[in-house]
Amino acid sequence: MKIALSLLLAVTLLVPAAAGAKDTKKIGKILDVTGSAEVKKGGEKKFKAVKNMAIAEGDVLITGEEGRVELELDSDKLVYVGPDTKLMVNELVKSAKAMEGKTSLSLQKGSVLIKVKKKLTQDSRFEIKTPTTVMGVMGTEFIVGYAQAQTYVGVLEGRVSVRRAASVEPTAELTVSPGEQLRQAADGTGKVVALNWEDVPLFALEQVYADLTMTGEALPVGLDLLQRTIERRTEEEIRARKERTAAPAPVIRFENEGRASTLDVPPSGNSNNGGSGGGSGQDPAPTYPLVVSVPEFEQDPEYRTDVNIVLKLYGDRITRVMRTDTETDLVEGVDYVVTAGSNTDQSRLVIQAAYLQGVEYGIESLGIKLFFASGYDLPMIELHARVPQPPELDMEQIANEPYSLVWDLSTLSIPFATPIEFNSGAGAPDPMESAITLYHIVSYDPDNPRQMDASGLSIEGNRLIIMLDGLLELKSQITFYIQDGLLRNPNTGDLQTLIELSSEVKPHADRDQVTYSKSQPGDLVWLVNGLGDAFGPDDDYDTVLTDSIGEERTLFSQQDFSAESDGSQLRFTLRQALLNTLDPGVYVLRIPFDYLDIMDQAEITITVED
């Protein structure tokens, strides 16, 4: 999809502006996607990863078992994200004091291949972090992997400095040079050795091979050897994937939830099962502990309350509660208590709010394992965080109709993918005083943007309508901010986070690409939004059709086309007689508009077929 609009989107909290020079935030872009991959915008709402999707600070890329993503951070930084990987974009900032910028990535699992084409300056820092390690880069091509608390660094070009993360005790900084690799444990141990292709992730080997065959270069060990290594490891990976068909691990049996598990009897040696069988093919009533229900908890520690896990103990007693990811025990009477349930045969394991509020922000799930006096233990109980559902922009509609944000020269129309209503709670921003900030960037004076005020706000369906105190100008840009907390999701109560959008003020058609087949003749019709006040085509303004080699053909009103007002839009019809005179190929139709002596055009690509 070709999008002429320059669209900046950040659904994240911004640091308050500081006095003096300011750093500006950059936007990355996905160049290619293979297999399954998704993006958590701002680390929260998930979207399917697609080509040309913008990537901003706070976004998290997640690939599936066979997923891959090629990401461009700017013109000289490429990141190839491998399968089964989770990568967070921490920082994308251009320094106010330098032409370059600062980039920081966080690899939480999986592997990436990074290419920095241009040598970085002192003011253009590039870092990539894992949970235990920080790597600093100075103009290089290298691979980073993280699994089982180990960080792998393999360098093809340039150098990478490696040190332990600030959260752990520091060790001496190591430098990995071209043709070397380092596998560093969580405690900082590990040494730099010669690069081994067997340790390099398969997707990175394939990318290196593709690059070499494209340039004609060869590795010292020979291109054929690399190709054979890729073929062998590909076969091994396919075979391993087929072998990963073991029976699923036992899960917890839930009562009355349609989620009955494979764990119908306790493991051998722990059974105290002796109940009578049920009727009509139902499972026999278990006499070992089982889970009745597990609630969700909030991702934000500030809003976490007690979590009540309802159990049936059948006379057994909980002796130990362990958090599985850290293998640490909760303290009875401090971190948890066991109380009677609402029914006489039920008990409640209450994980206290004070304990949950100490668990890190944004955690998606928390595993709890229970041990009992009888010697029986339940498999992990997984507590899931409630997924916030704040008002989210309808990114698909914005991508498909980028210019529709500017409804007319005095009105903005912002589509949301979720229901919205104004937030009337405590701390909500004043809609007319602080919630909406607009900058009218005039095309002929972009260095001096003019601020514009909102004169009114309303909600129509899932759209926020912003009325402006003044008129925009064709070819200018409007940048606006919707402060966090203005809107809420009426179904969940979740509040909208800060939104930043930019849109060009430009007339646009309802379709920017169309195919005309001479075997199915007829007129082509568009509805063109002229922004309400802009004056559309007539005999004073040329409507032009340009072919693929740049030759222009001026079209004539009524003979070649017609343009009639259709409410707030223009109904533009291109005649069949004209279309049938065109040779097969690609043409660009330019429909002129004028407002206050400023000219602009709606552009439509037409593909003509026999």
CATH number at residue 190: 2.60.120.1440
Task: Please tell me whether residues 298 and 422 are part of one structural domain.
Answer: no
In a domain, 328, yes or no: yes
pLDDT at 170: 57
Task: Please tell me whether residues 539 and 465 are part of one structural domain.
Answer: no
**Mean pLDDT lowest among 146-150, 200-204, 247-251, 267-271:** 267-271
pLDDT at 602: 86
For the segment 18-38, the average pLDDT, to the nearest whole number, is 73
What Rg do the C-alpha atoms of the chain give, in angstroms? 30
Confidence band of 343 (pLDDT split at 50, 70, 90): confident
Give the residue, 39 or 12, on which the prediction is more confident.
39
**Mean pLDDT lowest among 85-89, 95-99, 529-533:** 95-99
Task: Please tell me whether residues 198 and 83 are part of one structural domain.
Answer: yes
Asked if residues 209 and 227 have their Cβ atoms less than 8 Å apart, the reply is yes
Which one-letter DSSP state was computed for residue 441?
A: E
Confidence band of 4 (pLDDT split at 50, 70, 90): very low
d(CA 322, CA 326): 9
For the segment 285-292, the average pLDDT, to the nearest whole number, is 74
For the segment 16-36, the average pLDDT, to the nearest whole number, is 67
Q: DSSP string of 209-275?
A: HHHHHHHT---TT-HHHHHHHHHHHHHHHHHHHHH--PPPPP-PPBSSSS---S-SSPPTT-----P
d(CA 497, CA 10): 9
For the segment 192-200, the average pLDDT, to the nearest whole number, is 88
In a domain, 268, yes or no: no
Q: What is the number of structural domains in the chain?
A: 4
Task: Please tell me whether residues 51 and 198 are part of one structural domain.
Answer: yes
Q: Which of 201, 235, 269 is the last residue of a domain?
A: 235
Tell me the three state secondary structure of residue 431: helix
Residue 279 has pLDDT above 60, yes or no: no
Tell me the three state secondary structure of residue 597: coil
Average pLDDT, the chain: 80
For the segment 12-32, the average pLDDT, to the nearest whole number, is 55
Residue 586 has pLDDT above 90, yes or no: yes
**Mean pLDDT lowest among 122-136, 157-171, 415-429, 585-599:** 157-171
Residue 19 has pLDDT above 60, yes or no: no
Give the residue, 218 or 504, on which the prediction is more confident.
504
Does this model's pTM top 0.95? My answer is: no
- Alpha-carbon dihedral of residues 404, 409, 413, 414, nearest 10 degrees? 80
Task: Please tell me whether residues 22 and 141 are part of one structural domain.
Answer: yes
Angle between helices 223-243 and 202-215 (to 10 degrees): 150
d(CA 461, CA 415): 9
CB atoms inside a 10 Å sphere around CB 204: 23
pLDDT tens-digit map of 431-463: 777 788 888 877 777 788 888 888 899 999 999
Q: Where would I find the H helices in 323-417?
A: 353-356, 395-400
Residue with tokens 């080699």: 549
d(CA 3, CA 80): 24
In the structure encoding, which two tokens stand for residue 446, read together?
């972009």
**Mean pLDDT lowest among 299-303, 509-513, 555-559, 563-567:** 563-567
In a domain, 278, yes or no: no
**Mean pLDDT lowest among 113-117, 252-256, 364-368, 519-523:** 252-256
In a domain, 525, yes or no: yes
Task: Please tell me whether residues 410 and 488 are part of one structural domain.
Answer: yes
Q: DSSP string of 6-67?
A: ----EES--PPPPSSS--EE--EEEEEEESSEEEEETTTEEEE--TT-EE-TT-EEEE-TT-
In a domain, 552, yes or no: yes
Residue 417 sits in a domain whose CATH number is 2.60.40.1220
Strand partners, 509: 528
Q: Where would I find the H helices in 462-588?
A: 576-579
Task: Please tell me whether residues 17 and 152 are part of one structural domain.
Answer: yes
pLDDT at 215: 62
Q: Residue 590, CB half-sphere, CA atoms under 13 Å: how many?
A: 15
d(CA 209, CA 191): 27
For the segment 595-603, the average pLDDT, to the nearest whole number, is 81
pLDDT at 267: 43
**Mean pLDDT lowest among 108-122, 187-201, 318-332, 333-347:** 108-122
For 215, phi and psi rounded to 5 degrees? -90, -15
d(CA 412, CA 479): 11
In a domain, 276, yes or no: no
Q: What percent of the chain has pLDDT over 70?
A: 82
Asked if residues 266 and 259 have their Cβ atoms less than 8 Å apart, the reply is no
In the structure encoding, which two tokens stand for residue 579, read together?
């279309």
Residue 608 has pLDDT above 70, yes or no: yes
pLDDT at 100: 55
- CA-based nearest residue to 60, from 45, 41, 34, 77: 41
Residue 197 has pLDDT above 60, yes or no: yes
**Mean pLDDT lowest among 228-232, 487-491, 518-522:** 228-232
pLDDT at 271: 39
Helix or strand holding residue 593 (H, E): strand 585-595
Task: Please tell me whether residues 470 and 587 are part of one structural domain.
Answer: no
Residue 318 has pLDDT above 50, yes or no: yes
Q: What percent of the chain has pLDDT over 90?
A: 25
Task: Please tell me whether residues 474 and 338 are part of one structural domain.
Answer: no
Contacts of 571 (CB under 8 A, 6+ apart): 525, 526, 527, 528, 563, 564, 565
Q: Which of 504, 526, 550 is the last residue of a domain?
A: 504
In a domain, 266, yes or no: no
d(CA 115, CA 470): 47
Task: Please tell me whether residues 493 and 512 are part of one structural domain.
Answer: no
Task: Please tell me whether residues 494 and 513 are part of one structural domain.
Answer: no
Q: DSSP string of 355-377?
A: HHTTSPTT--EEEEEEEETTS-E
pLDDT tens-digit map of 357-400: 988 887 888 889 999 988 887 778 888 888 788 998 998 888 77
Q: Which domain holds residue 592?
A: 508-609
Task: Please tell me whether residues 374 and 522 are part of one structural domain.
Answer: no
Q: Which of 504, 524, 549 is the last residue of a domain?
A: 504
- CA-based nearest residue to 128, from 71, 84, 179: 71
Residue 281 has pLDDT above 50, yes or no: no
